[in-house]
Structure 1
Amino acid sequence: MDNHLQPYFDFLEKEVIPLEPLLLNHQYDELYMSLDKLRQQVKKQGLWAPYLPVEHGGQSMALIEFAGVSEILGRSPLGHYTFNCQAPDIGNIELLSHFGSDKQKQTFLKPLMDGAIRSCIGMVEPDRPGSNPTWIDTAAVQDGDAYVINGRKWFTSSADGASFCIVMAVTNPAAENRHQQASMIIVPMDTPGVELVRNISVMGEKGAGFFSHGEVQYTNVRVPNENLIQKEGEGFRLAQERLGPGRIHHCMRWIGICERSFDLMCQRAADRKITPKSTLADQPVIRSWIAESRAEIDASRLLVLECAQKIDAEGAHAARAEISMIKFHTAKTLGQVLDRA
């Protein structure tokens, strides 16, 4: 393991993973109190949000460097949050860092980078396919010095307890190009008219706080024009810029899950006796599963690192084919490894 990765691995194994039973038992209040203490320790050790510029407490890591950190943190569902590297905040930090106005950076970005607040992003809607971000109903109509937003979003990850949401809304319905109809607008979650309707159950778990996916209603929500990110009609472009690097984060997190599952699979194979003189590891099919898993994990990692390198060198748009490839390939690997484990 590279020297710069070892501190992340050690902290995760010794401090973070022991807290996982609190998550599994839905003891959210105690969990968040414990995580807040760990986040302060992370800051003191200089491990906080390494993708951030040095002047903001990070290490100015390139995407290909951060990929290794993300893999390690992915070994625990608590890992990224503890180090302030969690989605959706990391994507919103990157978006506002590159495209936010000075006031937006001061008001929303700075406390987000410091870990003082959380955020979310509202794109998916109940009556529209989540795979088509150009077809949405939520609308933002300009009224003097404000936008008035009406619509409903769901599967808004971490909306519960978030301080603001970056909402994708139609501002230019007459634009012939559907990719230029929507905009991204920052909406403080305490704005009148914003209602967290519910936390949606995902695979039987509703969750709470950061570990949740909310349904949010926007009814005559007024926010100042200055909360518009960039220009009207830029929403789809900004979404692509935000989601591209996010695929790297998610894919490396999945590889972290694969690696921990692989370790557990190997340990189980070595320990589980099936006769007085043999273990599961003596079975050819188990050995085959282990070999196939090792090859698939390593192949997925190389694909993701190649993609990260291209994004660093040429930008997310140039790597869009690679981004699509790692998304489906790594997800497939994750499913196969977990099934075997």
Structure 2
Amino acid sequence: MEPSRCSRADEGRKRKLDASNNEGSLVASDAMDFKALLDQHSEQMRRMQSQIDGLVAINSALQARLDGQAGSQAQEVFKLKQKCGVLESRRIKDDVETIRNGGEGYCNCLDYYGHSIILHNDALLSHFKELAGAIQLSNKIQRIDIDNIELHPSALEILYPAMEGRMTKIDMRRIIFPGPNVVKCYKIIASSIRRNHALETLKWYSNRIPSDEHADLLIKSIIDNWSIENVLLANCFNQSGANGCRALAALMASGRSFQELDFSENSLWGVDDVATALATNPQLDRLWICGNELNDRDAELIAQALKQNTNLQELNLGDSNMTRTGFEKIGASNLRSFKPECNGILQPYLLG
């Protein structure tokens, strides 16, 4: 017997109601799951924020501790500089007293070879003035040694004018000039060298010459001062932008007379300009270019130049990249022969 039309309608409505209830249950379940997920993420974010806050607090504490240590170290450095300033002032005062009493003929209170480098300190300027005053009043002092110290323009403007007309020998080694004022430092020194007509020997060892501009200031002042006979610029051009061969050739081709030119340990090589200047037979007794990177090609250039040179009495080429072939070429040059001696010194002698 077939169900009535009413019964079929009731069953349809029941199925729709059941389906509707099932869909509602799914929606409600999804909403609950999403809320739980949000709660979980919120809890994770809260924990992460708590960790971040903890790290920030730790960082702040560490920074405060570091700031405290930095402040303490700065105070210690300041006290140390004060102590060093006192020690240096005593050393300068001792030399000032010696000079005033007509003691030794040289000043070495600024020679700190073997010590920690002495950095610039404005507190020392007044003591530099005392030293400069003593030098200017002295009739005996002729030499000053300055080594391993930082010199600013303010110090150079005090010390260098005091040397003029008195110092016959200036020996400066391992000097530090402040970066922003390097050109000014070289200008002060060059002007003073040009005016110091008592100066006979300038030693400029291990003072890095930054560029050709700085080298030109120094070289031109030397050329202009005809009293200078010995120029020793060793270990100055290596690892810098300045051309040592160019500077040496300028001195040799200047028409000046020199007893000695020392350009040792300057990484010289490719000495075409130097050889050309040497061939002009300059008034030069001794040429030291040892400890450079000269090779056999350079030896050939020097050998050819020596055929035109009759003035050079001593040539030092030791510690170079020349082979025996290179030395033999030099030894066979000109009417003179060269005999190799210790330390690479080659001295010409007339054949008997």
Larger radius of gyration: 2
Q: Normalising by structure 1, what TM-score?
A: 0.21
Task: Tell me: higher relative CO, structure 1 or 2? Use CA pairs within 8 A at least 6 residues apart.
Answer: 1
Q: Normalising by structure 2, what TM-score?
A: 0.21
